[in-house]
Amino acid sequence: MAQREVELILVRQLASYLAIPIFLVDPAGSLIYYNEPAELLLGSRYDETGEMPVEAWSTVFVPKDEHGQPLPPHALPLVRALADHTPQHGRMIIDGLDGARRTLDVTALPLVGQHGRELGAMAVFWEVDADR
């Protein structure tokens, strides 16, 4: 992992111990980690994808809204949380890298350190029944 703020290192460590899917990005929006529960929903191990810029991760899973319309990167809860510095929530359909289509509820939070330092953002998400 590249040189990171200590808070991001700690969030990554915490995420690695949790049983809920977590996706972590740096202040530029680059993916820096997702945990094992997230691997199951995204259809690929983090070790296989590694870090990637927002332009890559925001499209590689082919996110769509509930009506099947493509979601542009700026509409994704994690990108919105990073840009607006506010918590965001949304539902989306993704095509996992394993080829499986999944409906996810996503809650994204900006990560702000002491003295207002922007550290990035994290998303927690879970699979939902598409008919709900």
CATH topology of domain 6-127: Beta-Lactamase (3.30.450)
Within the chain, strands assigned E span 22-25, 31-34, 88-95, 101-112, 118-127
Maximum alpha-carbon separation in the chain: 43
Q: How does pLDDT run across 38-64, given as a tens digit for each residue?
A: 999 999 999 999 999 999 999 999 999
Amino acid 131: pLDDT: 66
Over residues 71-88, the pLDDT tens digits come to 999 999 999 999 999 999
pLDDT at 2 over 80: no
Cα 45 from Cα 24, distance rounded (Å)? 14
What integer pLDDT is reported at residue 14 of this predicted model?
97
What are the residue boundaries of the structural domains of the chain, listed by start? 6-127
Classify burial at 117, counting beta carbons within 10 Å of its beta carbon; exposed 0-12, middle 13-18, buried 19 or more.
exposed
**Residue 130: exposed, middle, or buried by beta-carbon count in 10 A (0-12, 13-18, 19+)?**
exposed
Consecutive H or E run containing 57? helix 54-60
Closest Cα to residue 94, out of 115, 123, 51?
Answer: 123
pTM over 0.85: yes
